[in-house]
Amino acid sequence: MRRMNMNYAESTIYIIGNSKSQQHNPITQLYGQFMIGFVVDKDTGCIIELGCNAIIPTTDKFIKDLFIGEDIKSSFDIIQSKITNRYLGSSQKAILVAFKDAQKKYFDHISGRPLEL
């Protein structure tokens, strides 16, 4: 039986990218780590939706704007340039590490390798 209220297509997967933020960062103090959850079309690599555990709601919206529509298979250098040029907060490095972690999980998944969760 098919659920009628699915928000995401069957071709999507959900990937959590984890990283540590700076010790003085409120995210680290509240959550212990920084996380971005990516909804990705597993066939195309397109990032459809995401959420992160940012403290300020505008931060979550801005990070969404940076990633939605991008390809998770993109070169890390492309994403790094986009983040370093537009996101000027203390979580900049944590965002990049979380993306890289999610990217690794994506490639492991599509290659059939076991995931390190």
Nearest to 86 by CA among 113, 104, 112, 59: 59
Nearest to 12 by CA among 34, 52, 32, 40: 40
The CATH number of residue 81's host domain is: 3.90.1010.10
pLDDT digits (tens, 9 = 90+) for 1-28: 566 667 999 999 999 999 976 666 666 6
Give the DSSP H/E element, type plus range, for residue 103: helix 92-111
pLDDT digits (tens, 9 = 90+) for 23-66: 666 666 655 688 999 999 999 999 999 999 888 899 999 999 99
Q: Which two tokens stand for residue 22?
A: 């700076």
| Domain count of the fold of the chain | 1
Q: Which residues contact 111 (CB under 8 A, 6 or more apart)?
A: none
Q: Which two tokens stand for residue 69?
A: 């529509």
The answer as to whether 117 is a domain residue is no
Q: Which domain holds residue 83?
A: 12-111
